[in-house]
A and B are shown apart, each in its own frame.
Chain A
Amino acid sequence: MRLDQRTPDATDLAALRAVSAARWRVAISLTIGMMVVYFGFILLVAFRKALLGTQIIDGLSLGMLLGALVIVVAWVLTWVYVRWANRHYDASLRSLRQ
C-alpha cells in the first residue's frame, strides 16, 4: 500500500506541518531578501541617477558596482538555500518518510 493513500495520523501531520513551516519560512525570507536587494537597486536606478553615476574609483561607478553586487547576492542567497535544504530540509524529509 502506498503511503500517501493511508490516512495520516495526528503525529504524522504535525511533523509534516512543522517541516513545511520551516521550509517556507526559509524560502520566503530569502525571497524577500532577494526582492529587497533587487528592487532597492531598481529604485536607485529610477530615482537616484546622479548618485549611481558617481565614480568610486576611476572607471567604476557606484551603479555598476551595485549592479554586479545584485548578481553576487543572487548567487549567495541561492547557495545559502541549497546548502540549508541539503543539510536540514532533506534530513527532515528522510525522517518523515520513515
Chain B
Amino acid sequence: MTTALGEPNLVAIAFFVLFIVMSLAITVWASRRTRTADHFYTAGKSVTAWQNGLALAGDYMSAASFLGIAGLVALSGFDGLIYSIGFLVGWPIVTFLIAEPLRNMGRYTFVDVVAARLSPRPIRIAASCGSLSVVAFYLIAQMVGAGNLVHLLFGMRYEMAVIIVGVVMLAYVLFGGMMATTWVQIIKAVLLLGGATVLALLVLARFHFNPLVLFSEAAGRYGANVLAPGRQVTDPIDAVSLGLALMLGTAGLPHILMRFYTVKDAQTARTSVGYATAIIGFFYLLTFILGFGAMVIVGRDAITQVDAGGNMAAPLLAEAVGGTPFLGFISAVAFATILAVVAGLALSGAATLSHDLWVNVVRDGHAEEREQLRVARTATIALAIVAITLGIAFKGQNVAYMVGLAFAIAASANFPALVLSIFWKRLTTAGAQASMIVGTVSTLALIYLSPTIQTDMLKHAAVFPLRNPGIVSIPLSFLVAIVISLAFPVADEQRRFAELERRVHLGADT
C-alpha cells in the first residue's frame, strides 16, 4: 500500500494551523481573566459539569491511548483491549471515593487534602516527590511520542517537533493558566471523539454496520486467536499487577485530580466525573472497532512497515477509508491531543512546584497573590525547558513503558496516602510521608530491576520477575502507612480528623 504518510500534507497542516490559531486566540482571551493564583490554578472555579467532563476526558485520552491502543489491537487483537478496559475502570473509583472529598477538602492540588490534618511541610515535600515523578515520566512519554509522531506524520525533524510542542504548550499555560488549558482540552476532546467516531463509522460502513462481521473477518484472516488472550499475557501475576496499577493509578494522577478544583462545588465535581466516565468508556469501545478495522482494512504488514510499534495504525486506517484529507484531519487531531495533554501535565507540575513547594514549604503559607502567580509562571517556564530537554535527550529511546511507570507511581505513591487521609482516623504524618516515599522509591527500584530495563535494554537477567510492579508496591505502600501510624500514634492528628469530618461532606465554606 502506498501512503501519503510522512509527506507534507496540506490538509493536515491547515487543520493543525487552525487548531493552533484557535487555541492561541482562546489563550489571549483567557489571559485577560487570569489575574490571580486562583484563576491560574482553577479557572476561578467557573467550569461547568459538562465542560469539566470533557476536559477530564481530554486530559486522559492521550495520543498513547488513541494511537497506541489502536496499534496494539491491530497487531495483537484482544490483548490490546486489556488496556482499553484497564484505562477506564479507575474512573468509577475516582467517582465513588475521591472526587467529592477532594473538592471539599483541597484548594489547588490533591496534596492539600493529605496536608489538611497532618503536618503540612513534611507531607508536601514527600507528596511533591511522587507528584513530580508522575508528571516527569508522563511528560517524557508524551514529548518523545510527539517528536516521533510529527516526524512520521509530516516528515518534520524530531527536535523541531519537540520544540514546537514545548513552546505552544508554554504559551497556553503561561498566559492562559487553567482557563486556556481547560478550553484546549475541551476542543481537543471534541475533535478526538468526533474524529474517532467518524473513523469508526467509515470502517463499519464496509461491514454492514455490524462489528461482529468485522471481528469475524479479522479472525478469518489472522486466525481465531486474535479474539482471545494471547502472547501479551504470559504471566498471570503480571496481568493482575498491570490491572491494579491502571485502576488505582487513574485515581492518583495529579493533573486529573487537579481538575476537580475547577468546578464550583462537590456536586458539580461528581456530575462532571460521571460525564467523563461515559465519554471515556465510549472512546475505549471505539478502539475495539478502530484496532480491528486497521487489522483487516490496512493489514498488519502495511502497519508494521511504517512503524514497527504499530502506532500509525489509526492514521493509516483513516487514509484507507477517507483518503488523504481524512488522514490530514486525524494527524492534526493526534498532534493537538499531545499538545493538550502536555499542557495539562505542565500546569499540574507548576502547581506542585509553586503552590505545594514554594508557597507552603519555603514561604510557610505566607505569600502574596502576585508572588504566587509569579512563582507559578516561573515554574511553568522551567517545566517547559525541562520537557523540551528531556524530549530531545530521550530521542530514539523506547519510552512506551514510561506511561505505565507513571500510572504505577501514581497508584503506589499518591493513591494510598490520599485514600487513607480521607478515610482513616489513625493516619499520622510519619505514616503518610513514609508511604509516599516508599511508594515512589519501590516503584522506581522495581522497574529498574524488571525485565523491561534489565532484559530489554541492558540485556541481562532480571532480578525482579514482573514488568509491572503494582502488585508489590501498592500493598507495600499501604502497609508502611498503616504500620508506622499504628506504631507511633499522634493523638492531636486524630483529633483534627474529627474536626475535618464535617468538611469532607460539606466543604470548607459551610
Contact = CB atoms under 8 A, between A and B. Distances in A.
Q: Do A and B come from one complex?
A: yes
Contacts of A81: 92, 95-96
A58 to B, nearest CB: 5
Contacts of B96: 26-28, 30-31, 34, 81
Contact of B501 (A20, A30, A43, A85): A20
B229 A63 contact: yes
B341 to A, nearest CB: 22
Contacts of A86: 267, 270-271
Contacts of B240: 39, 42-43, 46
Contacts of A16: 501-502, 505
Given A71-B88, A71-B281, A78-B277, A46 B93 contact: no
B312 to A, nearest CB: 24
Contacts of A1: none
Contact of A49 (B229, B273, B504): B229
Interface string B469-510: 000000000000000000000000000000001111110111
Nearest to B422: A24
Given A41-B85, A77-B92, A96-B506, A61 B227 contact: yes
A82 B216 contact: no
Given A78-B91, A97-B506, A59 B225 contact: no
Interface string B201-245: 000000000011111110100001101111001001101100100
B233 A49 contact: yes
Interface in B302-342: none
B160 interface: no
B198 interface: no
B19 interface: no
B274 A78 contact: yes
> Chain A's interface: helix, strand, loop or mixed, by majority?
helix
B423 interface: yes
Interface string A5-38: 0001000000011011001101110110011001
B288 A31 contact: no
Contact of B510 (A3, A68, A75): A3
B92 A52 contact: no
Nearest to B273: A78
B158 interface: no
Contacts of B93: 31, 34
Given A3-B510, A23-B505, A49 B228 contact: yes
Interface string B81-93: 1101110110111
Given A8-B502, A59-B216, A70-B89, A64 B227 contact: yes
B285 interface: yes
Contact of B81 (A4, A50, A67): A67
A47 B236 contact: yes
Given A8-B502, A49-B233, A74 B92 contact: yes
A47 B334 CA distance: 36
Contacts of B407: none
A43 to B, nearest CB: 7
Interface centre among A42, A67, A81 (most CB of B within 10 A): A42
B140 to A, nearest CB: 28
A52 B239 CA distance: 15
Contact of A64 (B95, B267, B284, B288): B288
Interface centre among B92, B216, B233, B284 (most CB of A within 10 A): B92
Nearest to A66: B85
Interface string B403-443: 00000000000000000000100000000000000000000
A33 B284 CA distance: 21
Contacts of A17: 501
Contacts of A30: 92, 96
B247 interface: yes
A60 B91 contact: no
B97 interface: yes
Nearest to A58: B216
A55 B506 contact: no
A12 to B, nearest CB: 9
Nearest to B215: A59
Given A59-B216, A60-B215, A97-B506, 8 more contacts: A35-B247, A42-B82, A42-B240, A53-B228, A63-B229, A64-B81, A86-B267, A96-B505
22 contacts: A19-B505, A23-B505, A28-B96, A30-B92, A34-B96, A39-B240, A42-B239, A49-B230, A55-B219, A59-B211, A59-B213, A59-B216, A59-B217, A60-B212, A61-B224, A64-B215, A71-B84, A75-B277, A77-B92, A78-B92, A85-B270, A97-B506
Interface of A: 2-4, 8, 16-17, 19-20, 23-24, 26-28, 30-31, 34-35, 38-39, 41-43, 45-47, 49-50, 52-53, 55, 57-61, 63-64, 67-68, 70-71, 74-75, 77-79, 81-82, 85-86, 90, 93, 96-97
| 3 A-B pairs with the lowest CB-CB distances in the bound complex, closest first | A53-B228, A59-B216, A46-B236
